[in-house]
Every structure is written in C-alpha cells, then in structure tokens.
Amino acid sequence: MQRIETTEHIALGLDALCHLDRRLEVVRAKAGDVPLRLSEPGFRSLASVLVSQQVSRASADAIFGRLTTLLDPLTPQAVLDAGEDVFRTAGLSRPKQRGLLAAAQAVADGLDLDGLCLLDAGEAHRLLTAIAGIGTWTADCYLLFAAGHPDIFPARDVALQTAVGHALAIDPRPGEKELLRLAESWRPWRGVAARLFWAYYRELRGREAAPPA
C-alpha cells in the first residue's frame, strides 16, 4: 500500500473513502481543505507529538515553541543534558518530562526513529509504546504524520470522536472502541479518514485540533 506522502495521495484516499462509505461525501464537502500533514521522521517529530498529548493545539504549539527556543537544536542529547528548570520554563508537565526523557534515552540507546518508519505499522507501534510515557495515541500520530502510514486511526483522539459523532449523527459521541469499530469500514485508508475528520472538526469548531506535523 502506498504511504501517504503527497497531496495526490490524500485526494486518492478521499475518493476511495467516499466510494467505501457514501456518508463521507457530505463530510468531505463540509471539511474543505484536507492537509497532507507530513513531518520529517526523527526525534523532533516524536517530541512534538508527545508534547501535544491531552492539551489543546494552541497550548501544544506554545509549549513546543518554548521548548525548541530553550533547546536549539532539539536533540536527544540536549534533552538528556537539560535540567528540570528548562522543562518547567517550557511548561511541560512532569509526566511529559518523563516521557520526553525516556524517548531521548531510547534514541541514545539505539532506537532508530527513521528506520522505524519503514517497519510494519504493528511492529513500529510496539517499539514506540515500549517507551515509558508513549501511549497508543502518541505512537499512532507519529506513525501517521512522520511515517505516512496509510491505515492508522487514532481513535483515542477526542476531536476525532467529536467530529465523527457530529458528522454521522451519533449521540453521545463514540468512544475509542466504537470509533475503531466504525473505522474498520474505512480500511485501508484510515489515515486519510483521520485527516478528513480533523479537517471537519476545524470547520465545525473554528479551530485546529489535529496534532502539529
């Protein structure tokens, strides 16, 4: 399956999704532009997603902006050498500090984040979630945006739950398990479906909710 690497791949995926599920034709029309959202693989991209856990997009952008100003360049060694004052000034919670340090140590110990993007999604996901502080959502988003895996759907994402619930008239909004069940019908294009519903949420709420890429 082709990795999602160009806007043409997004268009191809959207066409396929609308063929698989006719309800998505209306979603596509209302969502407007569906961005590619592709980032360079590596530690900086993983750190950006980790910082974005459980906060608004605006807060994530602000925290990551401060962090990359304090640690420039943002490398695993820079993170390992930084003191707690740096993390506190950036606005990182203690759990995110621990996660960022664990990720930096994993890379220092030999984890190849670039090579990981070439692996099967399941194996790559297993390696990422073995790092303390990196859960399913963080691994999903890294593989979605940095690796361009075509068939990943971060069902724990509240914005995606909200967008799907609104678009498909599901009340209350679907939780993680129900959303995963719904997304089964969008295989093998769930990665494009996630981008579509983040774009739909942006138009619905007037703000960006997709993790930075």
Q: How confident is the model at residue 212, as a pLDDT? A: 84
How confident is the model over 153-177, as pLDDT tens digits?
A: 999 999 999 999 999 999 999 999 9
Whether the upstream peptide bond of residue 76 has omega within 30° of 0, thus cis, is no
Token pair for 141: 């988003």
Q: How confident is the model at residue 157, as a pLDDT? A: 97
The four Cα atoms 116, 120, 184, 54 give a dihedral, to 10 degrees, of -20
Does the pLDDT at position 106 exceed 70? yes
For residues 119 and 1, the model is more confident at: 119
Tell me, rounded to whole angstroms, the distance of Cα 16 from its chain centroid: 22
Q: How confident is the model at residue 1, as a pLDDT? A: 55
Residue ranges and CATH numbers for the domains of the chain are 7-37+152-205 (1.10.1670.40), 43-145 (1.10.340.30)
How confident is the model over 33-79, as pLDDT tens digits?
A: 999 999 999 999 999 999 999 999 999 999 999 999 999 999 999 99
- Round to the nearest angstrom and report the end-to-end CA distance of the chain: 22
Residue whose pair of structure tokens reads 């979630």 in the numeric block? 129
The model's pTM is: 0.95
Mean pLDDT of 145-150: 94
